[in-house]
């Protein structure tokens, strides 16, 4: 008989609210010293999901008192125009953070754009200079999503030292930087990707599984052992009723969402796998809000670092 679990939901929304409140107090203190953290967001085109992400980020700025400005650029903006715009923001002393919402349209060379951001204003932590600092264990702030995950572990006093962490996905935004942060915490890290053989076998040996691949319910319940800690980074929109029924069941709240909106969200981990875990992050409401909370903290840190280097 499998052991009955009582998995703890790692509520990212709640923790993000707590961190936002602390950030608000911090911004108030800074404002008294005439330091106003200032974030410039660049959104290219009309991708509806990107608009929602940007809205959520700017709402969090409003809650904390961070000054922000969203720059909407047309879908057909050229590489040169975008580079020039970033240079302008780089040169403005009052701008502490520059965030270019990804993905970018195909005519834009994403790497060149990220490289153009002044590393001291790169609050997403994606510039190669900041990635290098992270590799050396000398980062001034953490990339947003992995940093948010680390804060979840810290909040719940989940020890990482000596733990066997298996990450699925090796993107520059999630998998790679997360592996470095976990190593900094003395975890033993395995990274899987699309060419990795026997992923279920590797997952079964994990104390902690972090899934960031962008494939709905990829991690099946039989891939993991009882009491594994699950960090589900994936955000996948499902718009096929049969799939909703298969993954969540006909009575699940997700089915209701699907009926109202024509789609619902699903993580990279099958919901039945959560029931075998000791802790898990839900989708939505797990890692997502923590990504934004980390962006807020990074912007505040960037403002302080820039003030100190004047
Ligand atoms: P990405 O850049 O597309 O990278 C996906 C990674 O998954 C790649 O390394 C890829 O391997 C690997 N992969 C794909 N299919 C696989 C398979 N069948 N088996 C094993 N590995 C596989 O994605 P990302 O930007 O990291 O995002 C991943 C997911 O996280 C998405 O659902 C995204 O929406 C979500 N996300 C959420 C947040 C948040 O704040 N909640 C933030 C960022 C991303 P290869 O390298 O071999 O191609």
How confident is the model over 278-306, as pLDDT tens digits? 999 999 999 999 999 999 999 999 999 99
pLDDT band of 310, cuts 50, 70, 90: confident
pLDDT band of 1, cuts 50, 70, 90: very low
Residue 2 has pLDDT above 50, yes or no: no
Q: Are 194 and 266 in a shared domain?
A: yes
The pLDDT value recorded for residue 308 is 87
Q: Is residue 252, in this structure, part of any structural domain at all?
A: yes
Which residue has its alpha carbon closest to ligand 1 atom 8? 169
Q: Are 283 and 232 in contact (CB under 8 A)?
A: yes
The pLDDT value recorded for residue 128 is 98
Q: Are 276 and 185 in a shared domain?
A: yes
Q: In this structure, what CATH number is given to the domain that contains residue 99?
A: 3.40.50.10860
Q: Is residue 178, in this structure, part of any structural domain at all?
A: yes
Task: Give the separation between CA 97 and CA 117, rounded to whole angstroms.
Answer: 9
Q: In this structure, what CATH number is given to the domain that contains residue 223?
A: 3.40.50.720
Q: Answer yes or no: is 171 a known binding residue.
A: yes
Q: Are 114 and 153 in a shared domain?
A: no
Q: Which residues line ligand 1 (CB under 6 A)?
A: 145, 168-171, 173-175, 192-196, 212-215, 233-236, 287-288, 291
Probe target for ligand 1 pocket from 171, 172, 177, with the most ligand atoms within 8 Å of CB: 171
Q: Are 226 and 113 in a shared domain?
A: no
Q: Is residue 6, in this structure, part of any structural domain at all?
A: no
Q: Is residue 263, in this structure, part of any structural domain at all?
A: yes
How confident is the model over 120-146, as pLDDT tens digits? 999 999 999 999 999 999 999 999 999
How confident is the model over 79-106, as pLDDT tens digits? 999 999 999 999 999 999 999 999 999 9
Number of domains, the chain: 2
pLDDT band of 5, cuts 50, 70, 90: confident
Q: Are 39 and 114 in a shared domain?
A: yes
Residue with tokens 């001291």: 120
Centre of ligand 1 from the C-alpha of residue 124, in Å: 17
The whole-model pTM stands at 0.97
Average pLDDT over residues 182-192: 98
Domain holding 204, by residue range, is: 143-287
């Amino acid at each position: 008989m499998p052991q009955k679990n009582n998995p703890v939901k790692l509520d990212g929304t709640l923790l993000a609210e707590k961190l936002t409140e602390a950030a608000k107090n911090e911004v108030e203190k800074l404002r008294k010293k005439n330091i106003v953290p200032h974030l410039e967001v660049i959104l290219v085109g009309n991708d509806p999901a990107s608009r929602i992400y940007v809205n959520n980020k700017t709402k969090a700025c409003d809650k904390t008192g961070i000054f922000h400005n969203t720059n909407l650029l047309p879908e057909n903006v050229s590489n040169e125009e975008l580079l020039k715009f970033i240079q302008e923001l780089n040169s403005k002393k009052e701008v502490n953070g520059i965030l270019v919402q990804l993905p970018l349209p195909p005519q834009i060379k994403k790497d060149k754009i990220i490289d153009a951001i002044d590393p001291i204003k790169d609050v997403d932590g994606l510039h190669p200079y900041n990635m290098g600092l992270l590799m050396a264990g000398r980062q001034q702030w953490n990339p947003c999503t992995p940093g948010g995950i680390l804060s979840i572990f810290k909040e719940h006093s989940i020890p990482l030292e000596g733990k066997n962490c298996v990450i699925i996905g090796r993107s520059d935004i999630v998998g790679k930087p997360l592996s470095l942060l976990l190593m900094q915490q003395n975890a033993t890290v395995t990274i899987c990707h699309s060419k990795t053989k026997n992923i279920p076998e590797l997952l079964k040996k994990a104390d902690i599984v972090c899934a960031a691949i962008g494939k709905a319910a990829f991690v099946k319940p039989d891939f993991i052992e009882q009491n594994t800690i699950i960090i589900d980074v994936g955000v996948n929109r499902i718009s096929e009723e049969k799939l909703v029924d298969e993954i969540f069941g006909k009575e699940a709240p997700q089915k209701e969402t699907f009926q109202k909106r024509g789609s619902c969200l699903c993580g990279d981990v099958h919901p039945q796998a959560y029931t075998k875990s000791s802790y898990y992050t839900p989708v939505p409401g797990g890692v997502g809000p923590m990504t934004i909370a980390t962006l807020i903290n990074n912007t505040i840190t960037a403002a302080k670092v820039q003030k100190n280097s004047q």
